[in-house]
C-alpha cells in the first residue's frame, strides 16, 4: 500500500507525558505534571448544568446543522461579540485544532507567519496542508513589515503558548488593524485569553469588524472542556465562510450535538454561567499565585521573555532545563520543542503549565 507521507510528527509533548508516567511508576514517586496544556487547578462542576439535558431529544440524537446549533451560535454572538456580528459568521468546529486545519485549507495565501515561539501543531498542520511558514519576533516587527505583507497570513496567539506572555490589548488591536488594512490576513488564535477575561471584554467584538481577520476560539481552555472537542471559527468574509462551510461539511458532517448542547447551557443558563465563573475564579487565582511564587524564587525567565509583555499564563518559561526540573520530580517541556531555529539556545529554558493548585506547586518548587 502506498501512503502519502506528510512528514508531520506525532506530538513530542505526548511522549514526555508518557515518559514521566512511566518514571513515576518505576520510582513509586509522585510527579507534578506541568508538561501538560490544560487547566488543572479544578474541574468545572457540571452537575447543575447537565441536570435538565434531555438526552432523548432530536437535537442530540440526529445530525446537527452543518455550521452548528443556532442556539449555540446566537449565544456565542452575544457573549463573545456583544451581538456586533451575524450568527451566520460563526461556524462551530471540532476543537480549535479542527478549526485551524480548515482555516489553513480555506485561505489562499503565500505563506503564514507564526510567533517566534509557537505551538508545534501549527507547523505540523501547515506541513500537512503544504502551506509555507516562517516566524516573527514581536508586534513592533509585524508593524514595521506590514506594508509588504499582502497575501501573507499571521497568527496571533495572546497569551502565547508556550511563553504565556500577554501584550497590551490596544497594541494587539492596533497591529491587527494595520496588518489587515495592508492586505495581510490575521488568524487570531488565542484560546487562553478567555480564562482571564470575562464576557464584558470588547476584543472579539472589535476584531469581528475587520474583514481580513479570522478568529478561532476554543472551549478547551476557557471553560476547561478539552474533552468535548468544541470551538468556533468567526469571519465576516462571506466568500471565506461559504468555502469553510463546504469543507467542514465533508470533514465532519456536523459537530457533536451533546457537546454543543452542553456548551450552549454553559454560556446561557444561570447555572452554566455560575459554573464557568467559579471555574475561572479558582483557576486564575492559583495561576497568579504560582507565577508570583516563581518570580520571587528567581525562576521566571524574566529578562528573556517578559520585558515588553507580562507573564499571564497558563504557561510560563522558567530558567531551568527539562532535566533539572525532572530531577525535582517536575514534568515540563523544553522550550526547544517550540522553535525550529533556536533549539540550542532554547534548551536552557522550559515551559511550565502553571494552572495547578498552588499548595502542591509550592511543595515541589520549595526544593529549588
Ligand X SMILES: Cc1ncc(COP(=O)(O)O)c(C=O)c1O
Binding residues for ligand X, rule CB under 6 A, total 13
Work out whether 224 is an interface residue with ligand X (CB under 6 A): no
Cα separation of 340 and 134, whole Å?
A: 10
Helices (H), 253-330: 257-268, 270-296, 302-305, 322-327
Give the DSSP letter of residue 32.
Answer: E
CB of 45 to ligand X, least distance (A): 20
Nearer to ligand X by Cβ, of 119 and 365: the residue is 119
CA dihedral sign, ordered 259, 262, 265, 266: negative
Interface stretch with ligand X, choices 95-103, 243-251, 266-274, 299-307 (CB under 6 A)? 95-103
Q: Are 273 and 156 in contact (CB under 8 A)?
A: no
CB of 88 to ligand X, least distance (A): 22
Residue 61 CB coordination number (10 Å):
11
Nearer to ligand X by Cβ, of 87 and 189: the residue is 189
Cα separation of 92 and 102, whole Å?
A: 12
Work out whether 161 is an interface residue with ligand X (CB under 6 A): yes
List 189, 261, 286, 322, residue binding ligand X (CB under 6 A): 189
List 115, 164, 191, 254, residue binding ligand X (CB under 6 A): 191
Nearer to ligand X by Cβ, of 160 and 365: the residue is 160
Give the DSSP letter of residue 211.
Answer: T
CB of 229 to ligand X, least distance (A): 7
Work out whether 158 is an interface residue with ligand X (CB under 6 A): no
CA dihedral sign, ordered 98, 111, 121, 356: negative
Nearer to ligand X by Cβ, of 97 and 365: the residue is 97
CB of 187 to ligand X, least distance (A): 10
Cα separation of 246 and 67, whole Å?
A: 10
Q: Are 325 and 331 in contact (CB under 8 A)?
A: yes
CB of 314 to ligand X, least distance (A): 9
Work out whether 133 is an interface residue with ligand X (CB under 6 A): no
List 11, 59, 74, 226, residue binding ligand X (CB under 6 A): 226
CA dihedral sign, ordered 172, 139, 180, 124: negative
Nearer to ligand X by Cβ, of 231 and 326: the residue is 231
Nearer to ligand X by Cβ, of 49 and 114: the residue is 114
Cα separation of 157 and 154, whole Å?
A: 10
* Interacting residue ranges for ligand X, rule: CB under 6 A: 37, 95-97, 119, 157, 161, 189, 191, 218, 220, 226, 231
Amino acid at each position: 500500500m502506498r501512503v502519502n507521507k506528510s512528514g508531520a510528527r506525532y506530538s513530542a509533548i505526548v511522549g514526555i507525558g508518557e515518559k514521566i508516567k512511566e518514571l513515576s511508576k518505576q520510582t513509586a514517586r509522585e510527579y507534578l505534571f506541568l508538561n501538560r496544556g490544560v487547566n488543572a487547578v479544578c474541574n468545572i462542576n457540571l452537575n447543575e448544568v447537565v441536570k435538565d439535558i434531555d438526552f432523548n431529544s432530536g437535537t442530540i440524537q440526529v445530525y446537527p446543522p452543518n455550521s452548528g446549533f443556532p442556539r449555540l451560535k446566537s449565544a456565542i454572538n452575544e457573549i463573545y461579540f456583544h451581538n456586533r456580528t451575524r450568527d451566520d459568521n460563526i461556524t462551530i468546529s471540532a476543537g480549535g485544532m479542527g478549526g485551524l486545519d480548515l482555516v489553513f485549507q480555506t485561505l489562499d495565501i503565500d505563506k503564514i507567519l507564526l510567533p517566534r515561539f509557537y505551538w508545534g501543531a501549527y507547523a505540523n498542520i501547515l506541513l500537512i496542508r503544504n502551506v509555507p511558514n516562517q516566524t516573527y519576533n514581536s508586534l513592533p516587527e509585524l508593524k514595521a513589515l506590514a506594508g509588504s505583507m499582502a497575501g501573507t497570513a499571521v497568527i496571533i496567539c495572546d497569551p502565547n503558548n508556550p511563553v504565556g506572555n500577554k501584550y497590551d490589548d490596544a497594541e494587539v488591536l492596533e497591529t491587527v488593524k494595520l496588518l489587515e488594512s495592508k492586505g495581510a490576513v490575521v488568524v487570531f488564535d488565542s484560546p487562553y485569553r478567555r480564562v482571564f477575561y470575562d464576557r464584558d471584554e470588547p476584543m472579539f467584538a472589535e476584531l469581528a469588524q475587520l474583514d481580513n481577520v479570522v478568529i478561532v476560539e476554543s472551549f478547551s481552555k476557557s471553560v476547561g472542556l478539552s474533552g468535548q472537542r468544541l470551538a468556533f471559527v468567526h469571519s465576516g468574509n462571506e466568500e471565506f465562510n461559504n468555502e469553510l462551510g463546504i469543507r467542514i461539511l465533508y470533514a465532519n458532517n456536523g459537530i457533536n450535538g451533546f457537546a454543543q448542547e452542553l456548551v450552549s447551557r454553559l454560556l446561557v443558563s444561570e447555572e452554566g454561567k455560575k459554573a464557568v465563573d467559579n471555574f475561572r475564579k479558582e483557576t486564575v487565582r492559583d495561576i497568579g499565585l504560582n507565577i508570583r511564587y516563581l518570580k520571587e524564587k528567581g525562576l521566571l525567565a524574566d529578562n528573556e521573555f517578559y520585558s515588553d509583555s507580562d507573564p499571564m499564563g497558563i504557561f510560563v518559561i522558567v530558567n531551568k532545563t527539562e532535566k533539572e526540573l525532572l530531577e525535582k520530580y517536575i514534568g515540563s517541556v523544553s522550550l526547544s520543542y517550540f522553535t525550529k531555529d533556536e533549539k540550542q539556545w532554547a534548551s536552557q529554558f522550559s515551559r511550565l503549565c502553571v494552572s495547578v493548585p498552588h499548595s502542591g506547586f509550592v511543595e515541589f518548587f520549595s526544593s529549588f
